[in-house]
Amino acid sequence: MSKNGGSLEDPIGDLTHDHGALSTLVLAVRASLNRLERGETTPVKLADDLGDGTAALHDALLVHFAREEEGLFPFVVDELPAMKSRAEALRAEHDAICGAAADLMQAARLLYTGGGVVACTATMVRFEELYATHSQVELTFLKDVGAALSVVAREKLRAILAST
């Protein structure tokens, strides 16, 4: 079992599975904001729920990105050097996504004042755009890495990810 609860039988599948869990968290935050935008709740009533959701999302992103940056990306640079620039681009996107997630947590805190709806909505749109684009690129990258791995290399990656 990996630290995220998935199976390391297929290390690429495990990382891909992370995206499903992350997307579920993104959708939960979006659903909370949608209730607010439709007037079904007030900013103050939603503040705890949205604050918890954005914090859970931020934490899950940090764990997923750490697995990739500490395990997958160094492995790719060593084993599949032709993919180095793609790994580096994904790492840079991680920084932007973490920044946007932190901005989203901060915007959610503004709801406690009874305002901040516009800031939350705009920040969420920005986050969703970054996350959606990144996810598509990263899933293609994972597919390409998986296709390029020998059985021995897959075992090596499995061991690396099990220790991260």
pTM of the model: 0.87
For 117-143, give one letter per residue: b (16+ CB within 10 A) or e.
bebbeebbebbbebbeebbeebeebbe
**Can you tell me the distance from the alpha carbon of 90 to that of 82, in angstroms, rounded to the nearest whole number?**
14
Q: How confident is the model at residue 5 (pLDDT cuts 50, 70, 90)?
A: very low
Structure-block tokens of residue 79:
């084993």
Ranges of each domain in the chain: 11-162
Query: What are the φ and ψ backbone dihedral angles of 19, each rounded to 5 degrees?
Result: -65, -35
Residue 152: predicted pLDDT: 93
Residue 2: predicted pLDDT: 41
Structure-block tokens of residue 49:
């729920």
Give per-residue pLDDT as tens, 66-106: 999 999 999 999 999 999 999 999 999 999 999 999 999 99
Q: How confident is the model at residue 148 (pLDDT cuts 50, 70, 90)?
A: very high
Give per-residue pLDDT as tens, 34-58: 998 888 988 888 888 888 999 999 9
Architecture of the 11-162 domain: Up-down Bundle (1.20)
Residue 144: predicted pLDDT: 97
Residue 19 pLDDT greater than 90, yes or no: no
Give per-residue pLDDT as tens, 110-142: 888 877 888 899 999 999 999 999 999 999 999
